[in-house]
């Protein structure tokens, strides 16, 4: 008989294999206990919380870290948490801090000092690295509930992720002489004090979620990144974080000096105490309030309405929370010395330039006394066949507002501190925006949430190369949070930054360490700003 005509009955073989497999499965079931569940119930300052578990990750949302700053607590430093009785379910985000209504932000409230935690830990005895996120929003808005900030992916990869709220706008940064007299200290930095209070809560409570209070990384973007840099110089934040990550943030220029409360332009988001208080005096008048008591009685919606036409409310160089400019504090080696991972994007200034036909580059040189340095700077942004006035102005914004602050921070930390510096340059170009990476485009990659907010994410449908880069970036961030060094197995080597080797990790679709882009322009900005400081010490 030919082999092709021979018929084999394989059923006994299948039955035998199946019996063996079932026996092995039964043995495994009997000998291995089920996987432990993520922490769901914790005792923290104030009472007991119960979170929600989804696919092995527990989330605790709307966790109070301070008393509601309402009524008599408006424009006061954050106060202790009000205890609650029984079990508090922590399954929903609290409202964002009071701010003007705009797309993507739910109704806001003055009662807003809450934080959120994501963890995959199964025991409070675990000591996972902790990352504390500070949102951006120009110190006028922002919300932890933004879907792009969801911390699940970090938690899945071994981090305890915390996102914190803080007061913004007039509620967070109003300075006034009457507030000074009331507290015995300079006023105006309630939003930063909220951030410090949240970090203190983390230090006291994070072990309950499996976190390590000795491995806390503070990280943020835009105003959140500026906050990180300011807390790096704030004495009250000392010891509350051991690493710092700033995305498109940092403030190392001098405060803008002006006696005119309408003048809130300039290279720095910092206000001097005198300028901030003059703005505050005018603001209370606009509320129709004769004193602080009357101002605290004004409904929040009316405060928001009045603040819409007021000069911006920004952090205040108050001599207390912020004892001096960051530049001066670093020069004097009086700062919180930690490893830092910082960077900016290739087209941060996109959309920042006026389309007015009368816009010229000369509008951006504001000091006749520094005209020589200003003209030298502008010569590096030539107008030509391929460069419009708008694109040149956007380049000035990118380098002067973002890249220069990051570069200066890196140089000061390198020369004045012990913590290592890791610098990056994010330059992902997408089908929907090929000109470069805009302000905030890196957020989708850091958190891995591309489909959460198409107005913020680089694009709503990620490509395979986007997912790969997102995983790469998050591994760097987590390695840094774990031990202060982003490098690890299978990752392109990220060298430390130094004055003699100014290299950055360039994040595009072929990531690698390269010389820092735009270095000549950064040096020109440095010369211009230093001239300005001499004129306005």
Residues annotated catalytic, as ranges: 222, 348, 439
Cβ-contact 77, 188 below 8 angstroms: no
Instruction: Return left, alpha or beta for 306; rule: phi > 0 is left, psi -120 to 50 is alpha, else beta.
Output: alpha
Q: CA–CA separation, 45 vs 205, rounded Å?
A: 7
Alpha helices in 298-397 (DSSP H): 300-307, 326-331, 371-378, 389-397
What is the distance between the alpha carbons of residues 232 and 241, in angstroms, rounded to a whole number? 9
> What SS3 state is found at 476?
helix
Q: What are phi and psi of 119, to 5 degrees?
A: -150, 145
Q: How far apart are CA 420 and CA 184, in angstroms?
A: 38
| Secondary structure of residue 246 in the 3-state scheme | strand
The answer to whether the beta carbons of residues 193 and 321 sit under 8 Å apart is yes
Distance CA 17, CA 23 (A): 10
**Could you tell me which of 152, 48, 133 has the C-alpha nearest to residue 90?**
48
Rounded CA-CA distance 175/310 in Å is 13
Phi, psi dihedrals of residue 315, rounded to the nearest 5° = -55, 150
- Give CA separation, 273 vs 118, 160, 313, 322, in Å: 38, 37, 12, 11
In order of 265, 329, 330, 429, the CA distances from 136 in angstroms are 19, 24, 24, 22
190 and 75 in contact (C-beta within 8 Å)?
yes
Q: 163: closest CA among 152, 179, 175, 177? A: 152
Long-range pairs of 12-18 with CB within 8 A, sequence gap ≥ 24: none
Distance of CA 389 to the CA centre of its chain: 31
Q: What is the 3-state secondary structure (H, E, C) of 257-293?
A: CCCCCCCCCCCCCCEEHHHHHHHHHHHHHHHCCCCHH
Q: Is 221 helix (H, G, I), strand (E, B) or coil?
A: strand
Maximum Cα–Cα distance for the chain, whole Å? 111
């Amino acid at each position: 008989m030919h082999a092709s005509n021979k018929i084999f009955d394989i059923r006994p073989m299948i039955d035998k294999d199946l019996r063996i497999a079932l026996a092995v499965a039964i043995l495994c079931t009997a000998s291995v206990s089920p996987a432990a569940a993520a922490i769901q119930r914790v005792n923290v300052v104030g009472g007991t919380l119960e979170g929600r578990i989804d696919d092995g990750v527990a989330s605790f949302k709307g966790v109070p870290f301070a008393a509601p700053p309402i009524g008599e607590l408006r424009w006061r430093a954050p106060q202790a948490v009000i205890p609650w009785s029984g079990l508090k379910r922590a399954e929903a985000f609290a409202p964002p801090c009071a701010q003007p209504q705009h797309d993507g932000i739910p109704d806001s409230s003055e009662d807003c000092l809450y934080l959120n935690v994501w963890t995959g830990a199964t025991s409070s005895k675990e000591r996972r690295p902790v990352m504390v996120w500070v949102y951006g929003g120009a110190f006028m808005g922002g919300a932890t509930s933004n879907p792009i900030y969801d911390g699940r992916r970090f938690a899945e990869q071994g981090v305890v992720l915390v996102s914190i709220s803080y007061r913004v706008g007039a509620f967070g940064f109003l300075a006034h002489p009457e507030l000074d007299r009331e507290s015995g200290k300079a006023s105006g930095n309630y939003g930063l004090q909220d951030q410090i209070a949240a970090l203190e809560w983390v230090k006291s409570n994070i072990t309950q979620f499996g976190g390590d209070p000795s491995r806390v990384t503070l990280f943020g973007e835009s105003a959140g990144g500026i906050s990180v840099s300011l807390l790096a110089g704030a004495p009250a934040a000392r010891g509350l974080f051991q690493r710092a990550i700033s995305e498109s943030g940092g403030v190392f220029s001098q405060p803008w000096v002006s006696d005119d409360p309408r003048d809130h332009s300039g290279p720095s988001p910092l206000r001097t105490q005198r300028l901030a208080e003059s703005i505050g005096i005018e603001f209370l008048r606009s509320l129709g309030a004769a004193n602080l008591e009357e101002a605290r009685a004004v409904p929040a919606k009316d405060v928001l309405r009045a603040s819409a036409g007021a000069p911006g409310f920004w952090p205040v160089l108050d001599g207390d929370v912020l004892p001096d400019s960051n530049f001066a504090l670093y020069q004097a080696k009086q700062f919180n010395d930690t490893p830092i991972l910082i960077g900016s994007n290739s087209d941060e200034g996109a959309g920042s330039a006026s389309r007015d036909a009368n816009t010229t580059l000369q509008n951006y040189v504001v000091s006749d006394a520094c005209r020589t340095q200003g003209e030298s700077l502008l010569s590096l942004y030539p107008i030509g066949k391929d460069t419009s006035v708008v694109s040149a102005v956007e380049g000035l914004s990118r380098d002067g507002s973002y890249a220069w602050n990051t570069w200066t921070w890196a140089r000061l930390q390198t020369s004045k501190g012990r913590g290592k510096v890791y610098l990056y340059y994010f330059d992902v170009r997408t089908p929907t925006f090929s000109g470069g990476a805009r302000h905030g485009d890196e957020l989708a990659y850091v958190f891995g949430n591309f489909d959460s907010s198409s107005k913020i994410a680089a694009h709503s449908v990620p490509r395979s190369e986007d997912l790969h880069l997102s995983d790469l970036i998050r591994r760097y961030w987590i390695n840094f949070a774990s031990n202060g060094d982003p490098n690890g197995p299978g990752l392109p080597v990220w060298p430390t930054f130094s004055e003699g080797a100014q290299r950055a990790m360039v994040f595009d679709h072929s990531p690698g360490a390269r010389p820092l882009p735009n270095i000549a322009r950064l040096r020109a900005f440095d010369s211009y700003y230093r001239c300005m400081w001499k004129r306005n010490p």
